[in-house]
Amino acid sequence: MSVTAFLTDSTLCIGCKACEVACKEWNQIPGDGFVWSGLSYDNTGGLGHATWRHVKFVENGATPGVGGNSPENFSWGFSSDVCKHCENAGCLEACPTGAIVRTEFGGVYIQPDVCNGCSYCVVACPFGVVDRDETDGRAFKCTFCYDRQKEGLAPACATACPTESIKFGKLDDLREAAHDRVEELTDAGFRDVQLYDPIDSSVGGIHAFFITRGDPRTYNLPPQPQVPTVYLRKGWISAAISSGLMIAAALVAFAGNRKS
């Protein structure tokens, strides 16, 4: 089986939310965003247990001097967010029950019938994607339309996108296409365009990468995402040093008592 991926091009997104609707319809996910907050025209707000694709509205500037989302040049941008299906997935590493698995297509899949609701995956996700449904306790996120892929179909969101802002295909092919697209936009005069694909971070690359304008953080994309387990080594080293010091102190005290 080929390893597959998403390429989301925010320069082509028109904010129609067709991907959100298609995702909900195919996966039979209930509605969760019909209350207007008054802070944004985006009524869903973010990814969650019942929103596996979310079109983020970038409605004001955030990075001076970069053009695409700068405060002095007001712009209204959109980008469809989704689970990144990390190469080194923090949620998969943290799951104690084996509910989270890597599929033959490279996606990270939560088996709802195995999940026990411990929420370890929720806190282990460096992108804040995994969310727990408080009604039944289980964790949910994008399944990468695993059921559709097994039948040779593209994910529902990519199929529904009218502008081809969401592309689906082989990982290596899409990564090459992403670099070509960035080069094309740069040549056209877009100085703030970049590819978000943190291969050099501890997540080891993602299977859902993004072309953005301006600061990726405005699209909920951290510049250097880290899998929480990278901090375990430092923790074990600190624990070992502390234990060694305690043992040494105990031996010194024991030796002192014997002399007296």
For 238-250, write each residue's pLDDT tens digit: 444 555 556 655 5
What tens digit of pLDDT does each residue of 111-154 get?
999 999 999 999 999 999 999 999 999 999 999 999 999 999 99
Q: Is there a single domain that holds both residue 87 and residue 17?
A: yes
Sign, CA dihedral 89-175-129-216, equals positive
* Residue 43's pLDDT band (cuts 50, 70, 90): confident
Q: Is there a single domain that holds both residue 238 and residue 175?
A: no
The residues pairing with 102 across neighbouring beta strands, listed in sequence order, are 108
Q: Is there a single domain that holds both residue 41 and residue 136?
A: yes
What tens digit of pLDDT does each residue of 57-101 get?
887 544 444 444 455 556 688 999 999 999 999 999 999 999 999
Instruction: List for the chain the helix, strand, coil content (%; round to 5).
Output: 30, 15, 50
For the chain, the domain total comes to 2
pTM over 0.85: no
Q: Is there a single domain that holds both residue 36 and residue 113?
A: yes
Q: Is there a single domain that holds both residue 257 and residue 185?
A: no
Please state, in angstroms and rounded to a whole number, the distance separating the CA atoms of residues 124 and 142.
Answer: 16
Q: Which residues of 131-147 are buried (b: 16+ CB within 10 A; e: fewer)?
A: bbbeeeebbbbbbbbbe
Q: Is there a single domain that holds both residue 98 and residue 76?
A: yes
Please state, in angstroms and rounded to a whole number, the distance separating the CA atoms of residues 187 and 152.
Answer: 36
Q: Is there a single domain that holds both residue 56 and residue 9?
A: yes
**CATH code for position 178:** 3.30.70.20
Q: Is there a single domain that holds both residue 162 and residue 212?
A: yes
Residue-number span of the structural domain to which 248 is assigned:
228-260
Q: Is there a single domain that holds both residue 146 and residue 82?
A: yes
| Per-residue pLDDT, 76 | 80
Residue scoring higher pLDDT (252 or 31)? 31
Q: Copy the structure tokens of residue 85.
A: 């299906």
Q: Is there a single domain that holds both residue 165 and residue 194?
A: yes
| Per-residue pLDDT, 41 | 76
Q: Is there a single domain that holds both residue 260 and residue 205?
A: no
| pLDDT above 80 (res 252) | no
Residue 3 · residue 168 · CB < 8 Å: no
Q: Is there a single domain that holds both residue 59 and residue 135?
A: yes
